């Protein structure tokens, strides 16, 4: 009798373990606000689905390196984040699963998503990812500090030179660290565009050596080296721009809505002092559009189940994420419900935002991004001149965009 | 040397030694201090305040009750938080233990067998193999890691304990150590065993090995230490966070808790304490490895 | 059996584990690295013949009609583009040879017929799929083989500025760390050996950094080196009067590498000190006594007796130190985020695992190997003493 019971139990155990499919989803850990949002989303899904369980397995450290290693080892996750600027590289390498099949089969409401976000993750007329949210850049400023030094607040109509003027006033009146800038190419891009420059020419070779782009670069660097009104976040003792602003180490930063989520979670007293306006313009107004998609691993053995999870992540999951992490909804239905006044400027900035995807002949941009960032770092440290930096880009860009 | 010269020399030595002791210990002590500082705390009026471990002066008041630093009372909560936030810590500890343990045991077996063979036994191509092995000591890890990774992929051993351990089972340095030792081993003992009729196996397992404890101890410690602290290979070979070792886990912690210094330091100290305990318990063996390598044949 | 033969057999039995493991995991990889360096090995492609997919669904998507709607092959023949189908819907990037084979031998008719007959509604791997429908040359589609590219990788690395930068960084790193840590270790050993009380205590304390993992040390020093951190505070307190400003040690490209060098020396000097201490203790005191009788001064004894007799240990420490420094990786991975400060080992890793070009990375690895061999050879030549 005992043997029978035991074997029945064993069979049940084996059968039940077979019938539950575990889907692994991966991204980068993000700040604590984002982490909390993800945990909630995962819990919610697991509670409502008996046969599919989700595991969140974030990659710390360098996301792309580790993801590529895992994919090439045959051990990749079922769903993972794909940042827009590496999207084309991964799509071309054929490691992403096309989603059109599932979309048409389930009549998934892909039209609810902003068209240019859907477009951002389309390659060769095939959809390879669904944007989970998006962000733009705006200018955060600390009202309390501006009040203290009696300088007028930045406005959405300011130009870069107005910004420089206000920062200089702050410095003259005694505030040492008016703004913080990042040595990141993607933060420089809106400056380039607003100066009337562009990133690539028609043949996709670099346009960073054109005079508008160089002028923008010079302005950006001069803020730190010549006018001395800006510092890197690490120089202030913070990890990133939002961190520097939230710890009140600086008065102005150009950041995205995730910083808002971070402030609300960790430094709530700073939120009341915060004003947000559009980035300064010049010849034209410009901002960045960042977006990350959930994509499916072409090697996943459980594609149907992974699809179920993906749908949830960009539907109910998005609602939670938008609320908790402070990002913007990629679904028009969710975005229209998001009436948070602090986020209004971010939504408005979409109109003149540039999606963070630089077209190259091979579809690969990540490496060039690394090298340009390194040059920016050197410029901030005063180790090379602008002329040398531009020269380096001119000589090497074509090599950098190759594998 | 005259007496006064001796005295001067000794004083200078003391100064150097004490200065370097401070230099050696300071980073650990500072990290420990920061690890006990809470990220935020409630002051006597019940108001929530943050503490900044970068503030100056650090206002260290260790002899008050409760001890304070950076304006906040010291607490153990960060350590608790680390375990809370990273429930996998114990799993990572286990992984590191298994990895280091298996690699050590493997190296002891393979190293003693191989070391004895190269020290005592004659077989064709012996010199060739040994010179080849010595040459491999110079090969940087980066040269071999790509094909080793590919091999593991092809065998389907990525993200498994076997995959982690196999390539690390034959450390040439260990082989060299054991060979040195066996070459210095008193031949008389072995000869006596032979006369008594023991074969090669018998001599090895019953006479030589039991008397090789100091060398095996040094080998074990050296190997265990290397494997415990290994970063690059586990980085490549693991692909799920359940399989991380402590070193990888610490890296993971850094990305989430960027500049939350007290948590970072608590995580770092937790990671280091097991090794420190092992170190203090087996002090002699550890220090012996530094010494053993220098002993000439 | 002859005694000699018997011994030889035993010898191999004992030595075989070592030999096998080394052959498999060291010698074979070295050969493979040489091979890979002449290819364009892309790690992302290693799995491409194992992708599972449903051919029916892929064709449905490709032609825009569901299987049960299609009655004959003619309806879909024109909208079916073989190459785009294989590349995007099956998911295989083909090289020239494979493209030609597909053009010649792929049985499109058969595929479309099977589709119409509903035979394709199952999961196949890309490899199974291709071998089913290729009339000939099936073996091209079973496993990924990287393509040979001749000397392209080597030509490229000569022009790559970051190869030069990372090599210079690595050599600079080695050239500074090795002498300093060796000298410091000797100094400490001599000091400890001067019949000072508590030698054991010093041994333990100095050894402590060596047993701590590089990850932990990196984190701790990240705290100490940051701009508002304790190191800057101390330096400002001491040298502020001379106009010293706090420095962002790890992020400033001018100081980053030096900061890591210092960290490295801190963690290894103690370990090597113990080696020297052992060596010192092996020097018979009679030598020093004789020198005293001859009226030698302290420094004379140091340079003429101590150092020469420490030669084997010095050589050992220098060689091990060099090999270690040339390969430094962990600290760079944790703390350096500017491409200008990377070392060659990190650049190899980045090319292999992030940029997806293991062929190029392998060629870099060979260069590194060659340099280490050269340096070690030169060291052994000019500091003669076997070890």
* Residue B290: band (very low, low, confident or very high) from pLDDT cuts 50, 70, 90: low
CA–chain centroid gap for A196, Å, is 24
pLDDT along chain C (387 residues), means of 10: 78 88 90 91 85 85 81 82 86 85 87 85 87 85 85 89 91 94 90 77 86 89 87 86 82 88 92 83 80 76 80 84 88 86 91 88 90 82 58
Q: Check A94 against C93: CB less than 8 A apart.
A: yes
B252 — phi, psi (to 5°)?
-60, -45
Min distance B219 CA to chain C CA atoms (Å):
15
Which of B39, B64, B81 is the C-terminal boundary of a domain?
B81
Q: CA-CA distance, A137 to A63, in Å (whole number)?
A: 22
Contacting residues of B for A267, CB less than 8 Å apart: 50
Q: Do B64 and B96 belong together in one domain?
A: no
Q: What is the pLDDT of residue C387?
A: 39
Q: Are C159 and C166 in contact (CB under 8 A)?
A: no
* Residue A170: band (very low, low, confident or very high) from pLDDT cuts 50, 70, 90: very high
Residue B296: pLDDT over 50: no
C-facing residues of B in 21-80 (CB < 8 A) are: 21, 23-25, 27-28, 30-31, 34, 53-56, 58
Provide the CATH topology of domain A138-288+364-400. Answer: D-Maltodextrin-Binding Protein; domain 2 (3.40.190)
* Residue A8: band (very low, low, confident or very high) from pLDDT cuts 50, 70, 90: low
Q: Range(s) for CATH 3.40.190.10 in chain A?
A: 19-133+290-355, 138-288+364-400
Q: CA-CA distance, A143 to A248, in Å (whole number)?
A: 11
Q: Are A96 and A298 in contact (CB under 8 A)?
A: yes
Compute the mean pLDDT over every residue in chain A, rounded to the nearest whole number: 88
C-alpha angle A23-A27-A29 in degrees, rounded to nearest 5? 120
Give strand ranges (E) for B37-155: 40-42, 48-50, 68-69, 72-73
Provide the CATH topology of domain C154-382. Answer: MetI-like fold (1.10.3720)
Q: Do B68 and B158 belong together in one domain?
A: no
The answer as to whether B297 is a domain residue is: no
Supply the DSSP string of C124-185, one letter for each residue: EEHHHHHHHHBSS-GGGGTS--PPB-TTHHHHHHHH-HHHHHHHHHHHHHHHHHHHHHHHHH
CA dihedral A40, A41, A45, A46 (to 10 degrees): -40
Q: What is the pLDDT of residue B190?
A: 81
* Residue B259: band (very low, low, confident or very high) from pLDDT cuts 50, 70, 90: low
**pLDDT tens, A275-301?**
999 999 999 999 999 999 999 999 898
Residue bearing the bigger pLDDT, B199 or A166 = A166
Residue bearing the bigger pLDDT, A134 or C69 = A134
By CA distance, what is C46's nearest residue in A? Answer: A72
The answer as to whether B66 is a domain residue is: yes
C-alpha angle A255-A256-A258 in degrees, rounded to nearest 5? 120
Q: Do B97 and B65 belong together in one domain?
A: no
Q: Do B59 and B135 belong together in one domain?
A: no
Q: Check C372 against B200: CB less than 8 A apart.
A: no
Residue bearing the bigger pLDDT, B69 or C363 = C363
Q: Are C347 and C162 in contact (CB under 8 A)?
A: yes
Q: Are C70 and C64 in contact (CB under 8 A)?
A: no
Contacting residues of C for B110, CB less than 8 Å apart: 17-18, 21
Q: Residue B239 burial by CB count (10 A; 0-12/13-18/19+): exposed, middle or buried?
A: buried
Q: How far apart are the first and last CA of chain A?
A: 65
From the list C264, C260, C262, C266, the residue with the least C-alpha distance to C337 is: C260
Q: What is the pLDDT of residue C175?
A: 94
Residue bearing the bigger pLDDT, C305 or A90 = A90
Q: What is the pLDDT of residue A6?
A: 63
What ranges in B166-231 are assigned the alpha helix state H?
172-183, 187-195, 200-202, 213-228
Q: Count up the domains in chain B and report the number.
A: 2
Q: What is the pLDDT of residue C383?
A: 64
User: Domain spans of chain C?
Assistant: 3-36, 52-141, 154-382
CA dihedral B145, B151, B156, B162 (to 10 degrees): -60
Which residues of A lie closer than 8 Å to B, measured between beta carbons? 24, 28-32, 35, 57-58, 60-61, 69-70, 72-76, 237-240, 243, 247, 267
Mean pLDDT, to the nearest integer, of A9-33?
74
Domain interval for residue B30: 3-81
Q: What is the pLDDT of residue A172?
A: 93
Compute the mean pLDDT over every residue in chain B, rounded to the nearest whole number: 82
Q: CA-CA distance, A399 to C156, in Å (whole number)?
A: 9
Q: How many residues does chain B have?
A: 297
Q: What is the pLDDT of residue B291?
A: 61
Residue B297: pLDDT over 50: no
Q: Do B75 and B90 belong together in one domain?
A: no
Which of B81, B111, B146 is the C-terminal boundary of a domain?
B81
Give strand ranges (E) for B64-160: 68-69, 72-73
* Residue B91: band (very low, low, confident or very high) from pLDDT cuts 50, 70, 90: confident
With a pLDDT cut of 70, the percent of chain B lying above it is 92
Coil vs helix vs strand at A78: coil
Q: Which residues of B184-203 are buried (b: 16+ CB within 10 A; e: fewer)?
A: ebeeeebeebeeeebebeeb
Q: CA-CA distance, B143 to B146, in Å (whole number)?
A: 7
CA–chain centroid gap for C227, Å, is 30
Residue A139: pLDDT over 90: yes
What's the pTM value of the predicted model, to 2 decimals?
A: 0.85
Distances (CA, A) of C60 to A297, A303, C326: 20, 17, 55
Contacting residues of C for B204, CB less than 8 Å apart: 14
Long-range contacts of C303-308 (CB under 8 A, 24+ apart): C306/C190, C306/C280, C307/C186
Q: Do B121 and B75 belong together in one domain?
A: no
Q: What is the pLDDT of residue A290?
A: 92
Q: Best-predicted range by mean pLDDT among A46-50, B196-200, C197-201?
A: A46-50
Contacting residues of A for C87, CB less than 8 Å apart: 94
The answer as to whether B96 is a domain residue is: yes
- Which CATH architecture does the domain made up of A19-133+290-355 adopt? 3-Layer(aba) Sandwich (3.40)
Q: What is the pLDDT of residue B176?
A: 84
Q: Check C88 against A396: CB less than 8 A apart.
A: no
* Residue A83: band (very low, low, confident or very high) from pLDDT cuts 50, 70, 90: very high
Q: CA-CA distance, C255 to C252, in Å (whole number)?
A: 6
Min distance C101 CA to chain B CA atoms (Å):
26
Q: What is the pLDDT of residue A32?
A: 74
Structural element, H or E, at residue B275: helix B261-281
Residue B157: pLDDT over 70: yes
Coil vs helix vs strand at B48: strand
The answer as to whether B127 is a domain residue is: yes
Q: Do B269 and B144 belong together in one domain?
A: yes
Number of H helices, E strands in chain C: 21, 2
């Amino acid at each position: 009798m005992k043997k029978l019971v035991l074997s029945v139990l064993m069979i049940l155990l084996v059968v039940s373990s077979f019938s539950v499919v575990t889907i692994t989803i991966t991204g980068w850990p993000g700040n604590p606000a984002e982490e909390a949002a993800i945990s909630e989303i995962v819990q919610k899904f697991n509670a409502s689905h008996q046969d599919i369980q989700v595991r969140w397995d974030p990659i710390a450290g360098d996301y792309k390196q580790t993801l590529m290693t895992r994919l090439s080892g045959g051990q990749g996750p079922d769903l993972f984040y794909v940042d827009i600027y590496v999207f084309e590289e991964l799509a071309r390498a054929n490691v992403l699963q096309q989603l059109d099949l599932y979309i048409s089969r389930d009549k998934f409401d892909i039209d609810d998503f902003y068209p240019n976000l859907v477009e951002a993750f389309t390659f060769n007329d095939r959809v390879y990812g669904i944007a989970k949210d998006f962000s733009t850049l705006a200018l955060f400023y600390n009202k309390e500090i501006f009040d203290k030094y009696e300088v007028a607040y930045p406005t959405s109509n300011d130009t870069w030179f107005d910004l420089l003027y206000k920062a200089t006033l702050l410095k003259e009146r005694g505030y040492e660290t008016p703004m913080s800038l990042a040595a990141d190419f993607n933060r420089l891009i809106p400056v380039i565009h607003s100066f009337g420059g562009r990133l690539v020419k028609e043949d996709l070779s670099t346009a960073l050596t054109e005079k508008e782009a160089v002028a923008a670069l010079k302005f950006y660097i001069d803020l730190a080296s010549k006018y001395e009104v800006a510092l890197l976040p690490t120089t202030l003792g913070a990890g990133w721009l939002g961190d520097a602003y939230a710890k009140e180490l600086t008065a102005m930063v150009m950041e995205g809505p995730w910083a808002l989520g971070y402030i609300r979670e960790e430094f709530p007293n700073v939120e009341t002092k915060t004003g947000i306006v559009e980035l300064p313009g010049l010849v034209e107004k410009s901002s960045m559009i960042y977006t990350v998609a959930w994509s499916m691993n072409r090697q996943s053995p459980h594609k149907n189940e992974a699809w179920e999870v993906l749908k949830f992540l960009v539907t109910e999951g998005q609602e939670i994420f938008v609320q908790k992490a402070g990002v913007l909804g990629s679904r028009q239905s969710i975005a229209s419900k998001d009436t948070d006044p602090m986020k209004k400027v971010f939504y408005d900035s979409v109109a003149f935002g540039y999606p963070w995807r630089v077209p190259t002949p091979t579809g690969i941009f990540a490496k060039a991004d690394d090298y340009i960032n390194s040059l920016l770092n050197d410029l901030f440290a005063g180790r090379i001149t602008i002329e040398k930096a531009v020269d380096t880009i001119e000589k090497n860009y074509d090599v950098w965009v190759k594998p | 040397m005259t007496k006064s010269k001796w005295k001067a020399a000794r004083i200078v030595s003391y100064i150097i030694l004490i200065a370097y002791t401070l230099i050696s210990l300071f980073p650990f002590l500072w990290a420990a201090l920061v690890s006990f500082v809470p990220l935020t705390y409630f002051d006597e009026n019940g108001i929530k305040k943050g503490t900044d471990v970068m503030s100056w002066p650090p206002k260290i008041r260790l002899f008050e009750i409760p001890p304070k630093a950076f304006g906040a009372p010291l607490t153990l909560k960060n350590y608790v938080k680390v375990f809370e936030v990273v429930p996998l810590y114990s799993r990572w500890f286990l992984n590191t233990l298994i990895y280091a343990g298996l690699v050590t045991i493997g190296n002891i077996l393979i190293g003693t067998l191989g070391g004895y063979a190269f020290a005592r036994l004659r077989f064709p191509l012996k010199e060739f193999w040994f010179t080849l092995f010595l040459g491999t000591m110079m090969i940087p890890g980066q040269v071999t890691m790509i094909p080793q990774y590919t091999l593991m992929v092809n065998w389907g051993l990525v993200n498994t304990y076997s995959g982690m351990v196999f390539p690390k089972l034959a450390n040439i340095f260990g082989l060299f150590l054991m060979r040195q030792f066996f070459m210095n081993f008193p031949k008389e003992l072995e000869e006596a065993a032979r006369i008594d009729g023991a074969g090669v196996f018998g001599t090895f397992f019953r006479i030589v090995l039991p008397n090789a404890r100091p060398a095996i101890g040094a080998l074990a410690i050296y190997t265990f230490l290397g494997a415990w602290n290994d970063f690059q290979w586990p980085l490549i070979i693991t692909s799920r966070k359940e399989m991380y070792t402590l070193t990888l886990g610490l890296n993971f912690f850094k990305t989430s808790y960027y500049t939350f210094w007290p948590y970072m330091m608590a995580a770092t100290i937790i990671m280091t304490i097991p090794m420190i305990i092992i170190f203090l318990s087996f002090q002699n063996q550890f220090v012996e490895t530094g010494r053993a390598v220098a002993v000439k044949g | 059996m002859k005694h000699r033969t018997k011994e030889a057999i035993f010898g191999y039995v004992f030595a075989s584990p070592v030999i096998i493991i080394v052959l498999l995991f060291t010698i074979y990889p070295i050969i493979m690295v040489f091979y890979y360096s002449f290819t364009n090995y892309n790690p992302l492609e290693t799995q491409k013949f194992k992708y599972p997919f449903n051919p029916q669904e892929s064709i449905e998507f490709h032609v825009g009609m569901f299987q049960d709607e299609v009655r004959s092959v003619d309806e879909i023949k024109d909208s079916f583009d073989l190459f785009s189908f294989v590349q995007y819907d099956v998911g295989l990037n083909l090289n020239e040879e494979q493209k030609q084979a597909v053009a010649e031998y792929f049985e499109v008719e058969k595929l479309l017929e099977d589709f119409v007959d509903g035979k394709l509604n199952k999961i196949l791997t890309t490899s199974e799929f291709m071998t089913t429908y290729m009339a000939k040359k099936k073996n091209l589609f079973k496993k990924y083989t990287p393509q040979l590219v001749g000397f392209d990788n080597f030509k490229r690395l000569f022009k790559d500025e970051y190869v030069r930068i990372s090599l210079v960084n690595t050599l600079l790193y080695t050239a500074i760390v090795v002498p300093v840590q060796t000298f410091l270790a000797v100094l400490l050993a001599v000091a400890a050996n001067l019949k000072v009380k508590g030698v054991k205590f010093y041994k333990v304390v100095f050894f402590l950094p060596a047993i701590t993992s590089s990850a932990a040390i990196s984190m701790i020093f990240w705290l100490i080196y940051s701009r508002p951190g304790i190191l800057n505070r101390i330096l400002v307190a001491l040298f502020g009067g001379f106009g010293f400003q706090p420095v962002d040690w790890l992020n400033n490209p001018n100081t980053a590498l030096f900061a890591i060098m210092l960290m490295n020396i801190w963690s290894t000097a103690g370990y090597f000190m113990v080696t020297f201490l052992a060596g010192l203790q092996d020097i018979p005191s009679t030598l020093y006594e004789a020198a005293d009788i001859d009226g030698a001064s302290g420094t004379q004894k140091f340079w003429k007796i101590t150092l020469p007799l420490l030669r084997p240990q010095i050589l050992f420490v220098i060689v091990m130190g060099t090999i270690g420094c040339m390969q430094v990786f962990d600290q760079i991975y944790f703390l350096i985020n500017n491409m200008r400060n990377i070392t060659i080992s990190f650049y190899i890793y980045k090319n292999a695992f992030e940029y997806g070009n293991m062929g190029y990375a392998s060629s870099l690895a060979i260069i590194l190997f060659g340099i280490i061999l050269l340096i070690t050879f030169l060291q052994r030549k000019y500091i003669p003493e076997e070890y």
